[in-house]
Structure 1
Amino acid sequence: MNVLPRWLSAASIACALFSPAAHAGLFDDDEARKAILDLRQKLEQINEQQRVRQAELNAQMAEQISQLKRSLLDLNAQIETLRADNAKLRGQEEQTTREVAELQRRVKDMQQGVDDRIRRFEPQKVSVDGREFMADPDEKKLYEDAMAIFRRGEFPAAAGALSSFQKRYPSSGFNESVLFWLGNAQYGTRNYKDAISSFRAVASQYPDGARAPEALLSIANCQVELKDPKSARRTIDELLKQYPKSEAAQAGRERLASLR
């Protein structure tokens, strides 16, 4: 079937048919009407084909638009899913960060606790009467507790605490000080004989210690309290001979003058 161009209309065909040349005898009236009818039929066919084609195009376009809409909906759904996943991941990341921070804090606390426990058992450097030595934490605390009792003037309790310390730590670096203050605590309870033994232990075991001169002078004072001036003078003579430049020696000279 021949298809006329779209621009060819029924009017154009009619004009051609009824032009002077056609009227001159190319077609008679019946043939002219028949030609016109044929042309109209062909035109209607062309228009129908155009309508069908347009309908097909519209249907295709509608399908494409529908597919595009579905694609857009799917894409939006994927975007929302990704957003939800990202939000979930951020939440998990924040939770993980908090858990890590809490774990780090616990580890730090545990390490601090371990360090504190280690320090409670590690020897510490202490200085007493001009001497430095290492002492266990418990040893240091027991000594300090006993001295606190002595400073409160509770001499019987102080004597007991210092004696207990000496028994527990017989080789302690505190022992020179412990013996000296034990003698003073015993002197405070008027237990002069035991005080003499404690002071004598200081003088004999630590002759180069800072407390040795004072220990000899304290022995002399105990002997005076025991009404034994003769022994007191001998002890002071010993003090003057061994530690002539000490402060205890100067006090001993004054004491000796009162014994003559």
Structure 2
Amino acid sequence: MAIRLRSVPSLLGACSMAVAALWPLQAHALFGDDEARRAIVELRQKVDASQRAADAANAANAEARESNAATRRSMLELSNQIEQVRAELARMRGQNEQLAREVSELQRQQKDVQAGVDERLRKVEPLRVEHEGQTFTVAPNEKRDFDAAMDLLRKSDFGPASAAFNGFLQRYPASGYRASVLYWLGNTQYANRAYKESVDSHRRLVSEFPTHLRTPEAMLAMANSQIELKDPKASRRTLEELVKAYPNSEAAAAGRERLARLR
């Protein structure tokens, strides 16, 4: 269509020249001068109208081409904007993933810190224990040291066990385990043939904790150590005190039998 419209002026020009060349002969032959002039004017008006129509068509075609070019430019700009938005979304997605990893790491570190705090608190918070008929609170390391000394005793490691019980009394002189420690310390000393020390440990138990359930047994053990020390009179006195103070205990029943043998 554009090609045909652009060729219209040249075609019209050629036609006009041909008519102009031929017209005088024909005009003289067929019409008068006035009629010939009018015909030429009308023909030129038609040619001019055709030229204007062709120019308008060319202008419209040019405008359409410019509009198409503007549309292509707009589409290209829109495409570029879309790519920029995609790139920005990808960047933001990467940032979100990084933030998620950082948050996860912070949460893990927080859990580790909390676990560490809980562990430290467990190491220092008092523990409520029930032991040999008594209820009391102890520090975690206090319970640990007592359990370690008892483990040595159960293994019959009497020397290390005696040292562990002695150390415990020095570190925790007011411990709720004190009565039990004095009792087991006297027993390990007896096993190590430290009879005098054994009597001293058991006597401390009897003096400090007269109502403790281990006290009757400690008195019976004292009498045994006194026999080993070749002091039957002291052993007899201890057994008599045992029978008198704790008549219903199993230790008192054993004490009566030994008293009968000592007489």
Task: Determine if the TM-score, normalized by the shorter chain, exceeds 0.5.
Answer: yes
CA distance in 2 between counterparts of 1:181 and 1:29 reads 159
Give the 5 Å matches for 1:70-149: 70-149=73-152
1:187 aligns with 2:206: no
Give the 5 Å matches for 1:6-21: none
The alignment's C-alpha RMSD in Å is 1.7
TM-score w.r.t. the length of structure 2 is 0.84
Give the structure 1 partner of residue 257 of structure 2: 254
TM-score w.r.t. the length of structure 1 is 0.84
Secondary structure of the structure 2 residue equivalent to 1:133: strand
Segments of 5+ residues of structure 2 without an aligned counterpart are 1-29
Shift of 1:228: 2.8
1:127 partner amino acid: E
Secondary structure of the structure 2 residue equivalent to 1:190: coil
Shift of 1:253: 2.2
CA distance in 1 between counterparts of 2:148 and 2:179 reads 17
Shift of 1:67: 0.8
1:177 aligns with 2:207: no
Give the 5 Å matches for 1:28-107: 28-107=31-110
Secondary structure of the structure 2 residue equivalent to 1:149: helix
Shift of 1:212: 0.6
Shift of 1:30: 4.4
Give the structure 2 partner of residue 215 of structure 1: 218
Structure ranking higher in helix proportion:
2
Segments of 5+ residues of structure 1 without an aligned counterpart are 1-26
Q: Deviations over 1:71-124 (max 9, x none)?
A: 111111111101110111111011111101111211221122122112212222
Identity of aligned pairs, percent?
45
1:226 aligns with 2:229: yes
1:97 partner amino acid: A
